[in-house]
Amino acid sequence: MPRRVLLGATACLSILGLDRLLTACSSSGAGTGTAGAAPGPAAPAAPAADSYRLRPFTSGSAARTTPPRQPLPVRAEAALTLATPGKKIAITLDDGPHPTYTPQVLKLLRTYKVPGTFFVIGENAHSHPDLVRAIADEGHVVANHSWSHPQLDTLSQKRVRRELGDTCDIIQDILGAPPDLARAPYGAWDKASLTVCAELGMEPLGWSVDTNDWARPGTSSIAGSVLEGAHSGAIVLTHDGGGDRSQTVTALGQVLPKLLDRGYELVLPTAPPV
């Protein structure tokens, strides 16, 4: 069965450090935040008690500007499926990094030797730079999910630029390079936010399989959403932050081996052709 193994020597070198990080972080309290609802024009679900939307916007680098990047063509919408053909699936995780759940997810991805794409919140990346480095060191992708998780299509273009630009800044500060992918909270892109995304050199990415794990519907529901919705080119939406993600971690432990047994290759997403 085909399996794409991206986590080679670098992953091996980082196992000890990440296991220590997991032990150190397991005693930390859960962070605050919420997760994305469904893609498209549907109104976002009401935020939970631990929602980012209950928090005021606080920029991590308001006085800075994102380093110049080569602008990309402005997309009409975010890609919902993979550009690469074949029986491939991408696992994506939003709203982290979280000191409890992100290390657990990384351990699972390492166990099954599969890659993941982590759309991080800028505030959380600023608070947990070691986790951002751990994600990248293990061969996964760190992507942009805004600074404070607002609904971008309700903001001014200037505010959108701060949300996405500040997150590019903090990722570059931590990893030495800005992100190539972005996901709007709630999947709520509009022309203005897509324009900013392109100007910052990022491709917008959505999803085609929504686990609704942000609502904590139960492990069986999350796992069932992935296994029943799996298809060639699928982009699966899950969360490693924004609240208690223990159900998601358990579900991933169930679905990853089953996807591999079904012959799926777990991959990192690529942008569709222009």
Q: What is the distance, to the nearest Å, from the Cα of residue 178 to the centroid of all Cα atoms in its chain?
A: 15
- Please indicate, yes or no, if residue 68 is contained in any of the structural domains: no
- Please indicate, yes or no, if residue 219 is contained in any of the structural domains: yes
Strands 181-182 and 203-204: what pairing? parallel
- Please indicate, yes or no, if residue 166 is contained in any of the structural domains: yes
Q: In the predicted model, what is the mean pLDDT of residues 237-266?
A: 98
Among the residue ranges 2-16, 82-96, 154-168, the one predicted with the least confidence is 2-16
Structure tokens at 113: 């030797």
Q: 167 and 149 in contact (C-beta within 8 Å)?
A: no
What residues make up the domain containing 176? Answer: 9-25+81-266
Tell me: pLDDT of 60 over 60.
no
Residue with tokens 């602008």: 71
Sign of CA dihedral 158, 163, 165, 170: positive
How many domains does the structure of the chain reveal? 1
Angstrom distance (rounded) from CA 40 to CA 210: 12
67 band by pLDDT with thresholds 50, 70 and 90: low
- Please indicate, yes or no, if residue 55 is contained in any of the structural domains: no
Q: State residue 38's pLDDT score.
A: 38
Tell me: pLDDT of 235 over 90.
yes
Tell me: pLDDT of 152 over 80.
yes
Angstrom distance (rounded) from CA 38 to CA 43: 8
Q: Which contacts of 186-191 are long-range, i.e. CB under 8 A and separated by 24 or more positions?
A: 186/36, 186/37, 186/38, 186/44, 186/151, 187/36, 187/37, 187/38, 187/39, 187/40, 187/78, 188/44, 188/151, 188/152, 188/153, 188/154, 189/77, 189/78, 189/152, 189/153, 190/152, 190/153, 191/74
DSSP character at residue 45? P
Among the residue ranges 9-13, 97-101, 111-115, 229-233, the one predicted with the least confidence is 9-13
Angstrom distance (rounded) from CA 112 to CA 116: 11
Q: State residue 272's pLDDT score.
A: 73
**Closest-CA residue to 91 (of 224, 256, 241):** 256
Global confidence as pTM: 0.78
CATH number of domain containing 212: 3.20.20.370
Angstrom distance (rounded) from CA 16 to CA 37: 35
- Please indicate, yes or no, if residue 69 is contained in any of the structural domains: no
- Please indicate, yes or no, if residue 58 is contained in any of the structural domains: no
Q: In the predicted model, what is the mean pLDDT of residues 111-123?
A: 98
Residue scoring higher pLDDT (35 or 77): 77
Q: What is the pLDDT of residues 8-53, one digit of tens each?
A: 433 433 433 444 434 444 444 333 333 333 344 343 443 443 444 3
Sign of CA dihedral 176, 6, 198, 156: negative
Mean pLDDT score across all residues of the chain: 83
Q: Residues with catalytic annotation?
A: 94, 239
- Please indicate, yes or no, if residue 42 is contained in any of the structural domains: no
- Please indicate, yes or no, if residue 67 is contained in any of the structural domains: no
